Amino acid sequence: MRKIYLSILAIVSWAMMSVAAVAIDVIVVSHGQANDPFWSVAKNGVDSACKDMKISCKYTAPGTFDMVEMAKLIDNAVSQKPKGIVITLPDAAALGKSVKAAIAAGIPVISMNSGSDDFASLGISAHVGQTEFEAGVGGGQKMKAAGGKKALCVNHEVGNVALDRRCAGFKKGFGGPVEILGTSNDVTEIEKAVAAKLGGVDTILTLGAGLSGEAALKALEAAGKVGKIRLGTFDMSPDMLKAAAAGKVEFLIDQQQYLQGYLPIAIFAQYIRWGTMPAGVVMTGPGFVTPDNASKVIKWAAQGYR
């Protein structure tokens, strides 16, 4: 028995040594969950930038979309005294206190992906991302130009203010009636919800490609309405890109989340060295991926960079 105890103790000690903490230069606190392929691209951006810039980074996220837990993670990050913190800002009201505490502690904060309207008032130095409303407007205009009259906007993460804005912008750009359909983030449920609404629309916009975009496409294929109902989506996924290359999807709005992960790290690396910081919003989108340029993007997406 003693031998077993000793060997367990040895293994545990070795494991503990290997995970002992080192000082981190930049901590990223994002709301992006592991099960969404969108965020793995952003995380790749973070990791590439850290390697290129030769600084140490850590990417953290709460287990579920929980603003309270995310605020705690920001507080956590502050107590580790990094040289910079990168966050996403899906809910400025809930996260504001923790962000302000970070800034008051002398740690600069850059926001990415969400929060383009709120970042400045919290004292965040810069925002890297795509402004949601304008991107939505662009998408709406494109659909209107293609001849759309009645549309459906599928929101799979209700409570995320940025997504609310996408639908709102789309509504403005589209002009005609737009119904906002709120769903959970379960693929089967989204497909069923969309299928139920196919009767009354000629245009569908989804706010995420891998999750809701593909689910909507499946619903269209099952009902035989591909081409008859125009489908556009925010963000990208391999299957949606293939569908775009095949002409089944009007466009994908690419916010280029790789840059959202990469640029804040690069900005902080220069800030740490020379104190430079861009002012305002650094736009990473909207980039439109259409049937014309889809095949190239497909190659890069398969590698995890688009």
**Binding footprint of another protein on the chain (CB under 8 A):** 16-17, 19-23, 34, 58, 60-61, 63-68, 71-73, 75-81, 91, 93-94, 96-97, 101, 104-106, 158-159, 164
Q: How far is the CB of 98 from another protein (least distance, A)?
A: 10
Q: How far is the CB of 65 from another protein (least distance, A)?
A: 8
| Structural contact between residues 213 and 181, judged by C-beta atoms closer than 8 angstroms | no
3-class SS at 238?
Answer: helix
Query: How many C-beta atoms lie closer than 10 Å to residue 12's C-beta?
Result: 10
| Structural contact between residues 134 and 283, judged by C-beta atoms closer than 8 angstroms | no
| Structural contact between residues 155 and 163, judged by C-beta atoms closer than 8 angstroms | yes
* Helix ranges (DSSP H) in 200-252: 214-223, 238-245
Q: How far is the CB of 63 from another protein (least distance, A)?
A: 7
The CA distance from 290 to 248, in Å, is: 10
| Structural contact between residues 286 and 138, judged by C-beta atoms closer than 8 angstroms | yes
Strands, DSSP E only, in the chain? 26-29, 57-60, 84-88, 109-112, 126-129, 151-155, 178-182, 203-206, 230-234, 251-254, 280-283, 287-289
CB under 8 Å to 97, separation ≥6 — which residues? 71
| Nearest CB to another protein, comparing residues 133 and 251 | 133
| Nearest CB to another protein, comparing residues 7 and 76 | 76
Read off the DSSP letter of residue 304.
T
* Longest Cα–Cα distance in the chain: 78
Transcribe 241-259 into DSSP letters.
Answer: HHHHHTTSSSEEEE--HHH
| Nearest CB to another protein, comparing residues 4 and 145 | 4
Q: How far is the CB of 201 from another protein (least distance, A)?
A: 21
Cβ contacts of 12-18, under 8 Å, gap ≥ 24: none
| Nearest CB to another protein, comparing residues 186 and 292 | 186
| Structural contact between residues 24 and 34, judged by C-beta atoms closer than 8 angstroms | no
